[in-house]
Structure formats: C-alpha cells, structure tokens
Copies of this chain bind each other. A is one copy, B any other.
Amino acid sequence: MIDQNFHKKSGSYKLSELAEIAGAEIFNKDSVDIDLIINDVAPLDEAGSGQISFFGNAKYLEAFQNSKASAFVMAKSMIDKAPKGAVLLIAKDPNLSFAKISSKFYPATKVAPLISEKSSVASSATLGKNIRIEPFAVIGENVKLGDNCYIGSGTLIGDNVEIGDNSYIASNVTITHAIIGKNALFHPGVRIGQDGFGFAQEAGVHFKVPQLGRVIIGDFVEIGANSCIDRGALKDTKIADHTKIDNLVQLGHNVELGKGCFIVSQVGIAGSTKLGDYVVVGGQVGIAGHLNVGSMTQIAAKSGVAQDLKGGQAYGGAPAQPIREWQRQMFFLQNLYKKTKKTNNGELVSGDN
C-alpha cells in the first residue's frame, strides 16, 4: 500500500478512464467491465482488490501470475503469460503507461507559498509569484527566482544566480555561478558552480587556474542527490534541456551535455568533454577529458571512455570499445582459459600460490 502519510492520493478511476490516460487498450474489451473502479496503484506482490499493477520485466513473471491485483498494465507480447481471466491494459510501452496512471493517482503536489521568517533573503533578490522558501535557506544578492519555485531548508542560492519558473531545489543544496532554466528538479546535497579542478605546476606547487565560467542549465533538468557540477574555467559548463542526472555524479569544468541525456549514478565526466543529445551513460562510467561523444551513444555501466565515441552505438569496457567486441573478447578470454586448463599442463593457468 502506498503510504498516504507521504504520498497524497487523488481519486479513484474507472478502468476505461485509466486506459485512456495510459493510452492503452483494454484486452478482450467485450468481456470486461470497463466501469470497474480502480482506487490505487500497487506492486504485483502487494496489490489487492481494486488496485492496478504493472508487469514489465520477465523476472517478475511469478509475482505477476500470483498477483491479486484487479487489473494489469502490460505489453501485448506477454499476453500468453497472463493469468486466465485477468483484466489487462495493453500498452506499447507499459512503463510509460503505468507512469501516467501513477501520476493520475498521485499528481505532483503544489507547495503552499511561504517565505520563512527563518530564511535569509537579500533585499536585492527578485522573487516570482507563489514562491516557497524554507527555513535556513539563503537567497543571495540579485538572485532571480521564477514563479512557483521551491527552495529547501539550508539551501544556498548564491549571488546573481537565476532560476526559472516551477523549479524545485531540495534541502541542503549549494548553487553559485549558475543560470538555471525552468522546471529544474535538484535533489538534496547537489553542488553546482564551485571551482573546477584546474591547476598549473610551478616549482612543486599547484598554481590555481582561476575558474571564470558559469554553469548554464536548460529546462526540465533533474539532478540527483549529492551530485557535483563544477563551473567552467574560461567557458561555461552546460546541460541542455530534459537531461536527467542521477545521484553522486561528477561533471568537471566545461563539460557540455546535450538534450535528453541520461546519466546514471556515480558517473564521472572529466573537464571539457562534450556529449551530444540523448546519450545514455551507465552507472560508475568514467569519461576522460576533452572528448566528444556523439548523440545517441550508449555506454555500459562501469566503462572507461578514453577516446572520442561515434554516436548511435553502444560501447562497453575499459577502455571502452563497441560493446559486442568487448563482450566477445571477455568471452574469448574465458574460453581460451578453460581450453588451456584442459589441454595444458597447467603452467599458464594455476596462479594458486
């Protein structure tokens, strides 16, 4: 059961309404009660009567077949796995359709406007309409906040920073030297705009290279908890619209991310590297500095990228190669090892001491 203390549910809906919201088709429509009342979403193994659930990963087939949900969102290709008589909403992308249903039951909550007396807001700051500023937040000189922004407790919005409408900046965030678009969603502990890591060597001392750029972020960008985005050295660090960044990610100075990129947790991208649009970077990947990664590139988790990557392909390994090549080499090594172990006197394979 979704915990109503934390998430406020909105209404119940007829099956037919949910099908429409989801852009899905009711399977075997003629023999189904399309007015069936659904009053919540639930995971397969916790769902009960009146709830709708979601089958999207073959790993959960057993949970699906044993589920007590009143209806399911799923793909056409899996219909033969469905329990007999189950009520099914057939969707092209079950994940997307179920997300729309979930959003209908649990719409984003509007925050009540409030400038906490316990915050610190510079008189030179420009605040839009319906803004909420939580206790112990600091809004610096000449800051511009758009309408409907939320600034969490303990967060610093440094001098001259601009943030567009409808942005949600969670608690304990630090933002300096940045221009941020609309509908930003930054999770707690995000650090934006601090110095990049730039030094020159002089007689055994690291001479600090002044970091004179900014961080420029487009619209609908999400940044995960405790991720760090350094400002540029001479140019700006840039993140284009609709790019989503997970937790504990590091972007060095002058990095540029295109539109709609998807950067999974603990990725590190070194200074001045540019990603095109819709690049997907798996967890814990490292990308060296001064590289170009083409649009639509996909990089497998834990890869290490040391060269430019042509777009539209998948890569893996460290150093990263086209992913099939990398997988085959790993397979080859294992097979060669096994074969040698059988045919050889063991000299090459023991390593036991």
Measuring CB to CB, which residues of chain A are less than 8 angstroms from any residue of chain B?
Answer: 2-3, 5-7, 41-43, 46, 54, 57, 59, 93, 95-96, 98-100, 102-103, 106, 116, 118, 120, 134-136, 138, 142, 152-154, 156, 158-160, 170-174, 176-177, 185, 187-189, 191, 194-195, 197-202, 204-210, 212-214, 220, 222, 224-226, 228, 230, 234-235, 242, 244, 246-248, 250, 252, 259-260, 262, 264-266, 268, 270, 278, 283-284, 286, 288, 290, 301-302, 304, 318-319, 327-337, 339-340, 347-352
Across-interface contacts of A99 in B (CB, < 8 A): 198, 200, 207-210
With contact pairs A2-B212, A6-B177 given, residues A152 and B156 touching in the complex (Cβ less than 8 Å): yes
Across-interface contacts of A59 in B (CB, < 8 A): 290
Nearest-Cβ distance from residue A78 to partner chain B, whole angstroms: 16
Across-interface contacts of A242 in B (CB, < 8 A): 204-206
Whether A197 pairs with B264 at a CB distance below 8 angstroms is yes
Whether A234 pairs with B42 at a CB distance below 8 angstroms is yes
Whether A332 pairs with B337 at a CB distance below 8 angstroms is yes
Copies of this polypeptide in the complex? 3
Whether B337 pairs with A351 at a CB distance below 8 angstroms is no
Across-interface contacts of A142 in B (CB, < 8 A): 5
User: Please, how many angstroms separate the alpha-carbon atoms of A284 and B191 in the complex?
Assistant: 19
User: Please, how many angstroms separate the alpha-carbon atoms of A301 and B290 in the complex?
Assistant: 15
Nearest-Cβ distance from residue A13 to partner chain B, whole angstroms: 15
User: Please, how many angstroms separate the alpha-carbon atoms of A17 and B204 in the complex?
Assistant: 25
A-B contact pairs, 25 of them (CB 8 A): A2-B212, A2-B234, A6-B160, A41-B234, A93-B201, A116-B120, A170-B174, A170-B194, A185-B195, A188-B194, A204-B260, A206-B262, A225-B230, A250-B283, A264-B270, A265-B268, A266-B266, A283-B286, A301-B304, A319-B330, A327-B351, A328-B337, A328-B349, A329-B333, A332-B336
With contact pairs A205-B260, A252-B265 given, residues A174 and B172 touching in the complex (Cβ less than 8 Å): yes
